[in-house]
Chain A
Amino acid sequence: MSGSAYQDDRGNKDRSITNPEGQGTLTAYGKATEAKPAGGEAPFLIGDSMTGGYGSGADILHDCTIAVEEGQIAVIVGPNGAGKSTAMKAVFGMLNLRQGTVRIGGRDITDLTPQARVAEGMAFVPQTSNIFTSLTVEENLEMGAFLRRDDIRTTIDQVYDLFPILKDKRRQAAGELSGGQRQQVAVGRALMTQPQVLMLDEPTAGVSPIVMDELFDRIIEVARTGISILMVEQNARQALEIADRGYVLVQGSNAYTGTGKELLADDEVRRSFLGG
């Protein structure tokens, strides 16, 4: 990773003494656990002019702004290496922000740890390793609701209503499911906190086109219940079609911003990013 001697992997192949599988890579940057009040009218969730990078490395984001309104779908698209996922991780507190703020519902959460942001109503579905493979489907959902102390039964039922296949497989280890079903578990786990914002990092990566359409339908359904959705997508065209707001990032900065329809209609965006 960063060339640190502590992470030197030499001699780390012997599984009879070391177990690197599932080891954490995330660094939680924030320190605070309480959000600060922030004034001003603003979108529901906004990562405002964020500049920063991983650890003490070079800046990846430059004055990048991402926002989503309540109950709407915002999509981040852009070429490979544009910093799409990085922008999303910055909003979730997994990046060292040197400038800019992150606010949710009028409160400043820039200094919060990712765990504390979960408590503030944010949920994040990573692109890979987004389920607990050795736990059953139902245990995955329970872990999603780890911070909740109230009765989670109704939320589990809601997730089963949204993804009926999960109900049949609830006693099965999540690692035994197909790619599309795993994504459903991942989204279901994130919904268990009853979040106000659901953040999805390429939810359709590696699933078939049919499953992809199905997943997009479900995501729209989730947005209709009033949950804001912030999503990074590789399939830019389909994603922009369902987006209320689209962000095109290039090299860590905002290149184009607009509603999904505007971006789809924009000649330059079409030519550069959507392949004509």
Chain B
Amino acid sequence: MIDFLNAIVALSNFVLIPAISYGSQLALGALGVTLIYGILRFSNFAHGDTMAFGAMATILFTWWLQGLGVSLGPLPTALLALPIGIAITALFLLGTDRLVYQFYRRQKAAPVILVIVSMGVMFVMNGVVRFIIGVDDQRFADGERFIISARDFREMTGLAEGLALRTSTVITVITAVLVVALLFWFLNKTRTGKSMRAFSDNEDLALLSGINPERVVAITWIIVAALATVAGVLYGLDKSFKPFTYFQLLLPIFAAAIVGGLGSPIGAIAGGFVIAFSEVTVTYAFRKVLGYLMPESLQPDGLVQLLSTDYKFAVSFAILIIVLLIRPTGLFRGKAV
């Protein structure tokens, strides 16, 4: 019985909790991708770097606050800097839109052209972020690291396995739930949110109803800036900030959006968790868990790890391909065909 509990605790500590937190971050990222796909009608390849920019803006402001000696006690100071990071990222995206995307919208450019345009924007953002903050790992998390540390847990329960509950995990999950609830309320209940759905459905008719397209586009960018910055900062708090990792996040985020069904916000969230759980499960070494569950004679000698963590992107890629082959519209019947 104790062995069974130990197995569950080990599984929670190394698979379930990290996957929930990673899944929330992916879901927030995928929501941004899906919103742009639904309303601006293209896949935004610059989304990973938008997250990096948002995180960077927040980090710079966090450092400034830390320098002033401002802190939130047990909570990371980054939470205080988050609204300003969002505002800066929103201005940055609106500027990009004015400078780049608006031109193509005026030409009524085919969406595939905007996809390629977003790739160009991606390279520029990539450079901007590295230019400002550098290519190295940056740490900006402060405050209490653990709510329950592994040792405390062991002492509390007397189990051999510890269950660490990190502050960043809890913050990630709470923030993600709040942001998602707010987004759904906004899209389904407010006049502006409904006008965004109307614009996504039928641009011409939206225009004939008096909905100002430029306003819808601007609000979309602002929401995307908020989602990307929150996702970027949460990811940075959980792991660390490095521009290149954010660029790499693009693949799992797109996989999440497509697996859930592009254009479907619920799909983006589901997709985020599907990708996160698969990635973490497939790359976790199950030796310890199996060690608790199996009789001594059957205990595995190897690590019982399906794939090395170096290959974690292969997991999202494989899922992406399987979904596109078997159910191209995604789990929640998005628009992808």
List residues of A whose CB falls within 8 A of some B CB: 1, 4, 6-12, 14-28, 92, 114-115, 118-119, 124, 126, 129-135, 139, 142-144, 146-147, 189, 193
Q: Mask for B26-43, Cβ within 8 A of A = 1, else 0?
A: 000000000001100111
Which residue on chain A has the smallest CB distance to residue B40? A19
**A132: chain B residues within 8 A (beta carbon):** 197-198, 201-202, 205-206
**Is A144 a contact partner of B197 (Cβ separation < 8 A)?**
no
Looking at chain B's contact residues, the main secondary structure is: helix
Separation of A213 and B195 alpha carbons in the complex (Å) = 33
A1 to B110 Cα, complex, angstroms: 11
Question: Can you list, as one digit per residue, whether each of B111-136 has a CB less than 8 Å from chain A (1) or not (0)?
Answer: 11111000000000000000000000
* B206 and A143 contact, CB distance less than 8 A: yes
A193 to B206 CA separation, bound complex (whole angstroms): 13
Q: A15-B337, A20-B41 are in contact. List 16 more A-B contacts (CB 8 A).
A: A4-B108, A6-B109, A10-B112, A15-B262, A20-B111, A24-B207, A115-B211, A118-B210, A129-B204, A133-B202, A135-B201, A139-B194, A143-B194, A144-B209, A146-B210, A189-B209
Interface positions of B (Cβ within 8 A of A): 37-38, 41-43, 104, 107-115, 191, 194-195, 197-198, 200-213, 258, 262-263, 324, 328, 335-337
Q: Which B residues lie within 8 Å of A114 (CB)? A: 207-208
Q: Which residues of the other chain, B, contact A8 by a CB distance below 8 angstroms?
A: 110, 113
Interface class of chain A by DSSP? loop
| Smallest CB separation, A232 vs chain B (Å) | 15
Q: How far is the CB of B104 from chain A (nearest CB, A)?
A: 7
Q: Shortest Cβ distance from A34 into chain B, in angstroms?
A: 15
Top 7 A-B pairs, shortest CB-CB distance: A24-B203, A18-B111, A147-B210, A6-B109, A6-B107, A15-B337, A17-B43
Contacts A132-B198, A146-B195 given; indicate if A15 touches B107 (C-beta within 8 A). Answer: no
Please list 8 pairs of residues, one from A and one from B, whose beta carbons are closer than 8 Å in the complex, sorted by A's number: A11-B112, A18-B42, A19-B37, A24-B108, A126-B205, A129-B204, A135-B198, A143-B206
- Whole-angstrom distance from the CB of A22 to the nearest CB of chain B? 5
